C-alpha cells in the first residue's frame, strides 16, 4: 500500500495563511530588492509540492507534532524559492519574527509545569518509541525533581528527515530556534546543549520554570 502523504487540508492552508503574514513582511525588511509577490507565489507552489511527497505522520488530533512537520515544509518552501538569495542568517531572522507576533503568543500560551501536562508528555514519549515513520519524532521524558522542571530527549526528528529529503539540512539549526520562542511563550527557560541537527545523538531539552512567568 502506498504511504499517505501530508494533505493540503485546513491545517496546511491555515499555516500558509498565518505564517505568510509573518514571514514575507520580515523578508521584505531583510532582503531589499527581492520580488516578494513572486517569491510568495513560488513558495506556495513549492509548499504544496513538498507536502505531496512527504509521508504523513497523522492529523494534528492524532499527533501533536504533525503541525510542526507541515510548518517545516512551509519554511523550506520559502527558503528554496529564494533561489539562493535568502541567507541562513536571514532565514533565522524570519523565524525569530514569530516571537513578536501576539497571536503566536496566545496560541502557545500554556502551563507546562503541571502534573497533567507532564504526564501527557510522558505518555506521548513512551508511545513515540513504537513509531517507525522517519518523519516523526521519537523521545524520552525525563521528570524533574519538582514540577518546575523536566526534560525531553529527542532521538529522532521529523524536521531533520524532511530537510534531508529536500536537500537543505543546513537550515535545520535555524528552524530549531522556534523551540526557544515556544518555551518563552510558556513561561519556561529552555536549556539545550545537543541537537540532532548538529550531529549529536539527541536533542536534550531541559525546561525550567522562568521566574516571573511568561514574558
Note whether residue 5 is domain-resident: no
DSSP class of residue 137 equals -
What is residue 127's predicted lDDT score, i.e. its pLDDT?
Answer: 96
The per-residue pLDDT for 102 is 83
The pLDDT score that the predictor gives to residue 212 is 66
Looking at the fold, whether 131 and 168 belong to one and the same domain comes out as yes
How is the beta sheet containing 188-192 ordered, strand by strand?
A: 138-143, 149-156, 203-209, 188-192
In 5-126, at which residue ranges do the beta strands (DSSP E only) sit?
Answer: none
Residue range 33-38: mean pLDDT, rounded: 94
**Tell me, what's the pLDDT at 109?**
75
Handedness of CA 137, 65, 68, 50 (dihedral sign): positive
Which residues pair with residue 154 across a beta bridge? Answer: 139, 203
74 touches 94 (CB < 8 A): no
pLDDT tens sequence across 45-66: 999 999 999 999 999 999 989 9
Query: Under a CB-based contact definition with an 8 Å cutoff, are residues 71 and 41 in contact?
Result: no
Examine the domain organization and report whether 14 and 84 are in the same domain.
Answer: yes
Grid coordinates 526534560 are at which residue?
151
User: Which residue range forms the structural domain that includes residue 185?
Assistant: 110-209
Beta-bridge partners for 156: 138
The structural domain count of the chain equals 2
Last residue in a domain, options 88, 106, 124: 106
58 and 77 in a common domain: yes
Domain membership flag for residue 84: yes
| Span 69-111, pLDDT tens digits | 999 999 999 999 999 999 999 999 999 999 888 888 777 778 9
Amino acid at each position: 500500500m502506498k504511504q499517505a502523504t501530508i494533505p493540503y487540508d485546513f491545517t496546511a492552508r491555515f499555516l500558509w495563511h498565518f505564517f505568510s503574514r509573518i514571514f514575507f513582511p520580515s523578508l521584505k525588511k531583510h532582503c531589499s530588492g527581492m520580488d516578494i509577490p513572486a517569491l510568495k507565489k513560488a513558495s506556495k507552489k513549492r509548499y504544496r509540492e513538498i507536502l505531496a511527497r512527504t509521508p504523513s505522520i497523522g492529523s494534528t488530533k492524532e499527533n501533536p507534532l504533525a503541525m510542526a512537520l507541515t510548518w517545516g515544509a512551509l519554511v523550506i518552501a520559502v527558503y528554496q524559492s529564494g533561489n539562493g538569495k535568502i541567507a541562513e542568517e536571514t532565514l533565522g531572522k524570519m523565524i525569530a519574527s514569530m516571537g513578536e507576533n501576539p497571536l503566536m503568543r496566545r496560541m502557545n500560551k500554556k502551563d507546562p509545569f503541571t502534573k497533567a501536562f507532564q504526564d501527557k508528555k510522558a505518555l506521548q514519549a513512551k508511545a513515540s518509541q513504537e513509531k517507525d515513520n522517519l518523519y516523526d519524532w521519537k523521545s524520552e521524558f525525563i521528570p524533574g525533581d519538582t514540577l518546575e522542571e523536566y526534560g525531553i530527549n529527542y532521538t529522532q526528528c521529523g524536521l531533520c528527515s524532511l530537510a534531508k529529503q529536500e536537500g537543505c539540512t543546513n537550515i535545520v539549526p535555524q528552524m530549531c530556534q522556534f523551540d526557544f520562542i515556544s518555551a518563552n511563550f510558556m513561561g519556561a527557560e529552555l536549556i539545550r546543549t545537543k541537537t540532532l541537527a548538529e550531529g549529536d545523538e539527541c536533542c536534550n531539552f531541559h525546561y525550567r520554570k522562568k521566574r516571573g512567568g511568561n514574558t
